A and B are shown apart, each in its own frame.
Chain A
Amino acid sequence: MTPRLSIGSVVKSYTAKKTRTTVVDRISLDVAPNEFVALIGPSGCGKSTVLNIAAGLVTAESGSVRVDGIEIAGPGPDRGVVFQNYALLPWMTVRENLAFALRSARELHDKVEIDRLIDAMLATVHLTHAAERMPSALSGGMKQRVGFARALLIEPKIVLLDEPFGALDALTRAHLQDEVLALWERRPMAALMVTHDIDEALLLADRVAIMSRGPSAVISRIIDVPFARPRRRADLMERPEFNHLRTELLAQLTHETEIIENALAS
């Protein structure tokens, strides 16, 4: 079966002060239709760069990104992006933000149809009451709900999530993770999420790809998450396999850190 998203051997480097640093070095990763993949790694390892390459916002020097087998030509609405800092347009209300996405990505122009789709999506993310508010009048959690709503409304082939819960406080984060989990299990779709939170990766993902610490970051390991769906946070926490996996992942991530620290020390 053709993967929904196929990242093939992408390389990206930056030149600063005449020194060339390879950030990601021949990274390959596939996401199947209806599969949720988490990309986890220490901060600064270049995992967001991989996501931006998949989104088309950053161009790789070599390698390819394919959606349903077709090479991408830059960013496009076949991939819905949820940004870490929400990236709502602050001069538009919630409804206008979503309508802008619909008009841009799906070229819808029928006002009644647009409003119907928006109202349904706002009900899904529990934001019906905030439709006419400006983003500046929303809490972080509410802003990111709009972020999710925008990415889903355009009916992309895959959603790309760049640390979507990263800017939220712990309580809001857990709450929104649970909602996203339930939403995804009701309506599964291909998803690639970048995160540095092990629990979050294990809760949401079918597979977890671990990136080594940069520079020249590679994917050092891919783990299948064995928990059946529908998952519940409380149930997972009680299972010994969960703690086992979590310890293993943590060891892997700290191991990556140690390697580099040892290399620097010697």
Chain B
Amino acid sequence: MSEAIVTGSIGDPEREPKRARVLDDTTKAAIAFAISLVVIVGAWQLYAMSGYASKLLPAPGAVAVNFFEAVRDPFYSHGDNDKGIGIHLLASLGRVAAGFAIATLIAVPLGIFIGLSPVASKAFDPYIQLLRPVSPLAWLPIGLALSKSSAITALFVIAISSLWPILLNTIYGVRAINPVYLNVARTLGTSRWNTLRHIVLPAAAPNIVAGLRIGIGIAWLVIIAAEMLIGGTGIGYFVWNEWNNLSVASIITAIIVIGAVGLVLDRLFGVLHDRVRFGE
């Protein structure tokens, strides 16, 4: 019965797709993206001209001019309060790199240790459960109290915020290792260190890198807020400073740059993730 239906539909000329008019999904998505962009920018333009918005809101054209000026000469410096966006960006990236490196150096070894030891797992669990949901900015006063230095506080906040996803993913990754791999090492008489290096680390690597990817995303989110409060340099400080200058166009430029850098950081860890992945 069902066979008859299938054979019937194959020969059915009305069911033949009209291939010439069908666009592939990528083209369709590109068209949808272009249309939505025009709609958003158009709405923005209309709203800016309508008089309902604050006078601070720039039109898209003004932002475009601001953006290209900022990108054309990103590294100028006219004193402490007037530096190019590139200088701020490098300062922020430097802080994120240092804070994130500290978090990684603590979270990966600790996570491997906790993942391998049921006792350590139970002992550390209360800290993890209690501290993980705390907002990054709540750590800011603690950082200042600990160090009296705003530079160190920024690193502290980055490190402690990006620590949790790296730690939790490392613990999970180690616990999820197929016990067969560990048995192979045991039957071969592999030393503890070589088991760690050649079995545990590569077996948990995809999950660890997934944690690093989430961690770098959080670090990049947090640095903006932290720099707004701490001041001095950095893209967060830049945003705050431009708000004091009432230059919303510069802030929108900064938002685009922040988004683009975040995207690049995420993709870097995506590439790393592809490299450590293995098929069973």
Chain A residues in the interface with B (C-beta under 8 A)? 55-57, 74-77, 79-81, 83, 85, 87, 89-92, 100-101, 103-105, 134, 136, 154
Contact = CB atoms under 8 A, between A and B. Distances in A.
Interface string B173-216: 00000001101111111110010001100110100000000000
Contact of A136 (B190, B203, B280): B280
15 contacts: A57-B183, A75-B183, A76-B189, A77-B189, A83-B184, A87-B184, A89-B181, A90-B278, A91-B202, A100-B190, A104-B185, A104-B189, A105-B188, A105-B190, A154-B188
Contact of A89 (B189, B199, B279): B199
B187 A79 contact: yes
Contact of B279 (A77, A92, A100, A134): A134
B57 to A, nearest CB: 53
A97 to B, nearest CB: 9
Contacts, number: 63
A239 B267 CA distance: 66
B222 to A, nearest CB: 33
B183 A104 contact: no
A83 B276 CA distance: 25
Given A57-B183, A57-B186, A87-B184, 13 more contacts: A77-B189, A83-B180, A83-B183, A85-B180, A87-B180, A89-B199, A91-B203, A91-B205, A92-B198, A100-B188, A103-B194, A105-B189, A136-B278
Leading 8 A-B pairs by shortest Cβ distance: A136-B279, A104-B190, A104-B188, A77-B189, A75-B186, A91-B202, A90-B278, A91-B278
Nearest to A83: B180
Interface of B: 180-181, 183-191, 194, 198-199, 202-203, 205, 276, 278-280
Given A83-B180, A87-B180, A101 B280 contact: no
Contacts of B280: 90, 136
B279 A76 contact: no
B181 A87 contact: yes
B274 to A, nearest CB: 13
Contacts of A83: 180, 183-184
Contact of A81 (B187, B198, B199): B187
A89 B183 CA distance: 11
B276 to A, nearest CB: 8
A138 to B, nearest CB: 11
A104 B180 contact: no
A74 B186 CA distance: 8
Nearest to A52: B183
Contacts of A75: 183, 186-187, 189
A30 B159 CA distance: 59
Contacts of A87: 180-181, 183-184
Contacts of B199: 89
